[in-house]
Structure 1
Amino acid sequence: MSTILITGASSGIGRATAELFLHEGWTVGLLARRAAALEEVAAGRDTAVVLPADVTDPQAVEAAFVRFTGRAGRLDVLFNNAGIFTPAGTIDEIALDDWYASVNVNLNGMFLAARAAFAAMRAQTPRGGRIINNGSIAAHVPRPQSAPYTATKHAITGLTRSLSLDGRPFDIACGQIDIGNARTPMIEELVAKQKADDPEALLPETMAVEEAARSVLHMASLPLEANVQFMTVMATKMPYIGRG
């Protein structure tokens, strides 16, 4: 049986991905801060492992990975997904606390999870595994007034490339999925704000969050001799090509 640990598993893309992997028979580690929400995802599923932890807490992250590998036996895949989108604004309007929060969750949190996964995959027998980082199309083309989110997602692309290179001697593959406008609470919040600001505005094109989850499943299911280095999955009509 294959195993995966998913960060940010309590809602949005993380939750949809966790539910799909559980349906497919994987053993799934559910990591997020809200234990009650994780228990909802895990309800009635023997192959779900609830791991309440804050991805910005190094000790908590390490303990969660140790607990998961102790229960599951090994770690085949990490879906490094946890992230936040702070309030929009030009750089002079962005609160420093929002900048630090974005860097702490979107970059430091993903670094800590990847670090724990890499160590586990390097030490286990058979050696190896796969890390899938959730980037964003903002890693390529930003939305206006999104400097913290955009900067951290560009950094994730660099992290992905470094992990891909450093993982080769240990049979650890790393890829990145860049998702555009999946219908999650974060996107629904953005749409609601745009509608409130301008009732006549054209609302963003979106896609079902389950399509993002299916894309992660494809990446995770490959043999270690193959890797999706970068994948973009997005709402077909969203203004990505040509936006800037």
Structure 2
Amino acid sequence: MPINATKRLQTYHDRHARGLEPFEDAALLRDWISGHGDQFHSVVECDLKRCPKIVYDFSANGDVVIGGTSDPARQTEIMWQQLAAADAPVGIGRYREDRVCYQSEQFKNDGEARSQHLGIDLFAAAYTPVFAPLDGVVHSFADNNLHLDYGPTIILQHEPAGGVRFYTLYGHLSRPSLEGLYKGKEIRAGELFCRFGDFPINGDWIPHLHFQIIFDMLGREGDYFGAAKPSEWDIWTSICPDPNLMLQMPENVVASRDGK
């Protein structure tokens, strides 16, 4: 992480220790997003405000398992059967969820796993189209091609009003989604600009979109933290708020305070 970004992150820790909002402008940005929720385009073809869904719990080993040593082909088959039986075009992975699949050494750097999910997952078939929720430009993109990483990833930058700047991340995409992109490329609200990837290209996961809101990129490009240490949750939720502020789903898609 660049030195200035490390200093900013330390500032967020210091503000939190003083009982302040870690990211100073977080409340302003959350208020702007929640105040414009009815204006955002759905990121997938179905209307997420109304379509049937299955909200999954990945905080414990259930009948559908993601990541780890699980077989993505078999787990995809199980999930698609469940979604078809429920006549649901999309499955949901929750924000703030403390996930079993993030407990391996890959997600640890000082003993504590980055296990609490900072995005919302939308599960649907590989190559499902993804639409921009509002006008933006391409901030950065990359193929994060390690096992259980994001795979192809796009980050958009949005500046919809004076003093309002934030980013949205789209992870686990198809490789062709990165073709023709360049920094600063304009993406219009409602524009089809990428598609869900398939395993193993998408990091070897059940096909899905990881959608995340970011207030400070911390100097990163084409990649970002998709989960946080539970002990640092209050800091990271200030930097990466609930994505349902934009998706506007009526279901409870946020795990409880303990991540369960």
TM-score, length-normalised on structure 1? Answer: 0.32
Higher strand share: 2
Greater relative contact order (Cα < 8 A, sep 6+): 2
TM-score, length-normalised on structure 2? Answer: 0.31
Higher helix share: 1
